[in-house]
Amino acid sequence: MSGALPTELAALENLEVLWLFKNQFSGPLLQAWGSSLLVLDVYENQLTGRIPGNPLSNVQSLQQLVLGKNQFSGPIPNAVGALSELTVLNVEDNALTGDFPSTLGALGNLVTLRLGNNPGLGGEIPALLFDQLTSLEEMRMSGLALTGDLNAQDWGNLLSLRVVDFSNNNFEGFPVNITVCENLEELNLSNNPSLGGNIPEAIDELANLKVLMVASSGLIGNLTDAVGNLPALGTLILSTVGE
């Protein structure tokens, strides 16, 4: 299906689930939604313009906001941080810009966070995110312009994490204490040229780790023997990691 999103959708006060993914809808996102909406999924369309903040802040029941693979531009609105019931936020593969919104740290029920491939979205990840998002299982932030020292962050509250993809950014500092995240299955820090440091000896505490990718990240020193003690490891990519 194609064309603009019908404005009549906003009048459906009992609408709870709206799945419009993988169509050819174009134009802006609607400026109003029914207050009963739980799921808004417009993944992989041709929608444009800014993500409107005020309409979303009026849908306090929203649990899944999936806007990925469109052509949205501008910043992630601060109003998204007011969606306290949100478990899934996916805005990957758009043209979003601005700094990482600190308000996302208020989404205490968030399980999946996908922001990847928005090269104009940058800044540092706020410490509040590491402190408050205790339900988070998936952090996909590849292909942004993020900076900061990952080793300075406290990963101890993110014990549910299964996937961390911070590849293709400008981070520094291998996150040594990420080894407390014992459920971690995938860690991708590739193409962060200034990451530096080395894979910690405690890496073998990640018994569920299946994927470890740190290519082109400026790591130095010898490869720790502990990598050989990862029973689930199926993919290990260390190419061009320094001398």
pLDDT for position 221? 86
pLDDT for position 23? 97
pLDDT for position 240? 77
pLDDT for position 8? 94
d(CA 200, CA 214): 13
pLDDT for position 242? 46
Instruction: Give whole-number Cα distances, 14 to 5, 61, 80, 88, 225, in Å.
Output: 18, 12, 22, 21, 58
Mean pLDDT, 10 residues at a time, the chain of 243 residues:
94 95 96 94 98 89 97 96 96 97 95 98 95 97 97 96 98 96 98 93 97 94 93 94 45
Q: Are 191 and 219 in contact (CB under 8 A)?
A: no
DSSP helix/strand/coil, 25: strand
pLDDT for position 93? 98
pLDDT for position 57? 82
pLDDT for position 220? 86
pLDDT for position 58? 84
Q: Model-level pTM?
A: 0.96
Q: Are 12 and 34 in contact (CB under 8 A)?
A: yes
pLDDT for position 54? 85
Q: Are 215 and 239 in contact (CB under 8 A)?
A: yes
Instruction: Give whole-number Cα distances, 67 to 46, 52, 148, 215, in Å.
Output: 10, 12, 27, 30
Phi-psi region of 90 (alpha: psi -120 to 50; beta: other; left: phi over 0): beta
DSSP helix/strand/coil, 80: helix
pLDDT for position 239? 85
pLDDT for position 243? 42
d(CA 154, CA 164): 14
Q: Give the chain's domains with CATH numbers.
A: 1-125+140-147 (3.80.10.10), 148-168+175-243 (3.80.10.10)
